Amino acid sequence: MSTLESNKETFEYKAEMKQLLHLIIHSLYTHPEIFLRELISNASDASNKVRYLQMSDDTILDRNKELSIKIEADDKAQTFSIEDSGIGMSRDDLIKNIGMIASSGTLAFLKQVKEEKKDAGDLIGQFGVGFYSAFMVTDEITIETRHADKDSVGLRWTSSGDGSYSIEEIDKSERGTKISFKLKDDFKEFSQEYKIKETIKKYSNFADFSIFIGKEKVNTVEALWIKNKKDIKEEDLNAFYKFVSNDWEDPLAHLHLSLEGVGSTFKALLFIPQKDSFDLMRTQDHKTLQLYSNKVMIMEDCKDLLPEYLHFLRGVVDTADLSLNVSREMVQSSPVMQKLKTTLTSKVLQWLEKMASKETEKYNDFYKVFGRLFKYGVNNDFVNKDKVIDLVRFETSLQKEGELSSFKEYVSRMKEDQQEIYYLTGENRAQVENNPNMEYFKKHETEVLFLIDPSDAFIIPSIQEYDGKKVKAIDKGDIDLKDPEKEEEKDNKLSEALIDLFKETLKDRTEDVKVSKRLVDSAVTLVAKADGADKHTEHLMKMMGQEMPSSKRILEVNTDHAVIRNLSKRYIANDKDPMLTKCIVQLFESAQLIDDELSSKNDYVKRMMEIMEEATQ
């Protein structure tokens, strides 16, 4: 037996440590690939420690040795090893840091785990036990290590994780640590290069040190979020964005943040894509921001970092403020996380405000792609509602198709005597432009906001006022319009009598019939009650399968229209003429046809033929 072999010692875990180790191996880690992240993190930590010593201690072992992390795997033998040139471990280190998961309080910890089973992961967050995740994928682990101290010796630690471990001296000339094991059959894929590369890219690409598989360096993208803004080139930003987003196009814009404060110390690099991934592949998983802690990924898709209406953003947030569970797979609900979300949201909105002001064309490009999602912040973010309202955009009647306007810009163009902000909802621009309710506004060149995105109908009820001016739909009956030409209505009694006939004829089909001030070229139009939903909203709700019975509308009549004047003459000649009621019903159903609400087209066409037949006799 050699001298080195005679130094081998066997140690037994304490009973409670066996229980804790079993808990870690079988309960706390849900994704086997986490073992690689944890081992790389430990190797990176060891390398950082020795890098600090290199600057202050000339006597350390292998002082000028390059710092890197090397991974070797053999898919035939199902073996795996990871080696670093970091600070290494002494015999005491192996006993305290590897042989003992926690130096004190283990029994109390286990008792608390049993009492609060659901929170076991949170409770164990203070313990550095990431190394033990490797026991998920192997039955036995070997550590070969040598401390940076020049008088240190090589050591081998071996354990099957079931009750004991051994430590023995070995010949090892170089500083650092090598961890090796044979993979269980169920996890043999981790001995294949493609799987190792995939896992490193996902979790550990931004480690402080180069990671090699054989001779190939696999972490080639830098952690740009920790660098100074002025030191980052545009091409590096584009490459980084493509790496974290799996997009093949450059981003539309980016935001680089570095904040230090109580409860919200973090760095972030956020991007707005040029296109919405849903437009390209509807089945694609819609991911948002990646959460990192000291450049190690904690969550690949951390939706809690931002409110839902900002989930179009891609990128990275890195903070060391969060309290994490042992596997780092779940972020604890905490005031810190909420503070981070609040701060990020505020910074993103400030960024968009600046873009809208200074880079209007770029902002409009963003809005045309992601406006449908973003505008839901009006309903969902009470704290920032006013900021979101300032950032929503619409086409308008006085602008070219495709041009966008804010509420603020609309107000700046309002006429001196205009007291309300006007809008009209519809399926597309052509539909709203040709809506009869637009005739008054065209005649008087009064601007109207066109709400032609389906989501507009759901957010506009939350915007009842802007800058002290009420926001009003022009297809509702309570709109206050003034037209001097209509104020001096002649034959008022005749108009009242004809309107009464309209009311009697349509009493079961309309809410009311009124003389219209908004019509210029059309004979009639249908408008909603002041407290009723407009026809477009009703249509959308029905498309979504929502129970929403159609409400009766108000019929407005243009008494200056030739058809109405001719009906008046006919009424004077014979107020019992059956053609009067037939024409009134036809006018009403014509308005329904325009609004896509006509239920019986056959009756409509038949009646039209009867009217034409009489008119051509």
Provide the pLDDT for residue 172: 94
Provide the pLDDT for residue 408: 97
Provide the pLDDT for residue 104: 37
- Distance between CA atoms of residues 367 and 510, nearest Å: 39
- Per CATH, the number for 484-529+550-615 is 1.20.120.790
- Give the residue-averaged pLDDT of 353-359: 97
Look up the pTM and report it: 0.78
The per-residue pLDDT for range 51-89, each reduced to its tens digit, is 888 877 888 998 888 899 999 999 999 999 999 999 999
Question: Please, which pLDDT band fits residue 335 given cuts at 50, 70 and 90?
Answer: confident
Question: Quick count: other Cβ atoms within 10 Å of Cβ 342?
Answer: 15
Q: Describe the crossing of helices 335-358 and 360-374 by its angle, rounded to 10 degrees.
A: 140
Q: Which helix (H) or strand (E) holds 515?
A: strand 510-515
Closest CA to 528 of 502, 493, 554: 554
Provide the pLDDT for residue 216: 93
Closest CA to 11 of 165, 156, 124, 119: 165
Query: Fold for domain 224-361?
Result: Ribosomal Protein S5; domain 2 (3.30.230)
Out of 186-200, 248-262, 334-348, the most confident range is 186-200
Q: Check residues 322 and 198 and name the one with the higher pLDDT.
A: 198
Name the region of 12 (left: φ>0; alpha: ψ -120 to 50; beta: rest): beta
Spatial contact of 297 and 336, defined as CB atoms under 8 Å apart: no
- Give the residue-averaged pLDDT of 276-287: 53
- Distance between CA atoms of residues 74 and 210, nearest Å: 21
Q: Check residues 59 and 367 and name the one with the higher pLDDT.
A: 367
- Give the residue-averaged pLDDT of 573-577: 90
C-alpha distances in angstroms, 312 versus 127, 271, 303, 332?
36, 9, 11, 24
C-alpha distances in angstroms, 313 versus 198, 371, 392, 449, 546?
23, 12, 17, 28, 31
Q: Is the pLDDT of residue 363 over 50?
A: yes
- Distance between CA atoms of residues 244 and 314, nearest Å: 8
For residue 569, the one-letter residue type is: K
DSSP 7: G
Query: Fold for domain 394-473?
Result: Rossmann fold (3.40.50)
Question: Quick count: other Cβ atoms within 10 Å of Cβ 323?
Answer: 12
Q: Is the pLDDT of residue 414 over 90?
A: yes
- Residue 499: strand, helix, or coil: helix
Closest CA to 252 of 263, 264, 237: 237
Question: Quick count: other Cβ atoms within 10 Å of Cβ 326?
Answer: 26
Provide the pLDDT for residue 536: 64
Provide the pLDDT for residue 386: 96
Q: Strands, DSSP E only, in 383-492? A: 395-396, 420-425, 449-451, 465-466, 469-473
Question: Quick count: other Cβ atoms within 10 Å of Cβ 201?
Answer: 15
Provide the pLDDT for residue 301: 87
Provide the pLDDT for residue 109: 43
Q: Is the pLDDT of residue 153 over 90?
A: yes
Q: List beta partners, residue 425.
A: 451
- Distance between CA atoms of residues 323 and 332, nearest Å: 6
Provide the pLDDT for residue 27: 63
Q: Strands, DSSP E only, in 175-288? A: 176-182, 210-213, 216-217, 253-259, 266-272
Provide the pLDDT for residue 302: 87
In the chain, which residues fall in CATH 3.30.565.10?
5-217
Question: Please, which pLDDT band fits residue 602 given cuts at 50, 70 and 90?
Answer: very high
The per-residue pLDDT for range 307-334, each reduced to its tens digit, is 999 999 999 999 877 755 544 445 555 6
Name the region of 153 (left: φ>0; alpha: ψ -120 to 50; beta: rest): beta
Provide the pLDDT for residue 62: 84
106: which 2 tokens? Answer: 């283990």
For residue 511, the one-letter residue type is: E
Q: Check residues 191 and 339 and name the one with the higher pLDDT.
A: 191
Provide the pLDDT for residue 262: 60
- Give the residue-averaged pLDDT of 476-497: 66
Q: Check residues 549 and 526 and name the one with the higher pLDDT.
A: 526
561: which 2 tokens? Answer: 């229209």
Tell me the torsion sign for CA atoms 305, 310, 314, 317: negative
The per-residue pLDDT for range 121-152, each reduced to its tens digit, is 333 333 356 788 888 899 999 999 999 999 99
Question: Please, which pLDDT band fits residue 534 given cuts at 50, 70 and 90?
Answer: low
The vertex-457 CA angle with 456 and 463, nearest 5°, equals 75
The per-residue pLDDT for range 210-269, each reduced to its tens digit, is 999 989 999 988 899 999 999 999 999 999 999 998 888 999 999 999 988 766 789 999
The per-residue pLDDT for range 35-51, each reduced to its tens digit, is 998 899 889 988 988 88
For residue 57, the one-letter residue type is: D
- Distance between CA atoms of residues 471 and 564, nearest Å: 32
Instruction: Give the least confident one: 352-361, 405-414, 534-543.
Output: 534-543
In the chain, which residues fall in CATH 3.30.230.80?
224-361
Query: Fold for domain 5-217?
Result: Heat Shock Protein 90 (3.30.565)
Provide the pLDDT for residue 545: 59
C-alpha distances in angstroms, 512 versus 426, 553, 558?
23, 7, 14
Question: Please, which pLDDT band fits residue 24 given cuts at 50, 70 and 90?
Answer: low
Q: Which residue has the tokens 């239920």?
A: 599
The per-residue pLDDT for range 97-115, each reduced to its tens digit, is 776 654 434 344 445 545 5
Closest CA to 529 of 571, 490, 574, 477: 477
Spatial contact of 302 and 291, defined as CB atoms under 8 Å apart: yes
Spatial contact of 72 and 191, defined as CB atoms under 8 Å apart: no
Cβ neighbors of 28 (< 8 A, separation 6 or more) are 120, 121, 124, 325, 326, 327
Q: Which residue has the tokens 């950082």?
A: 48
Closest CA to 242 of 165, 315, 313: 315
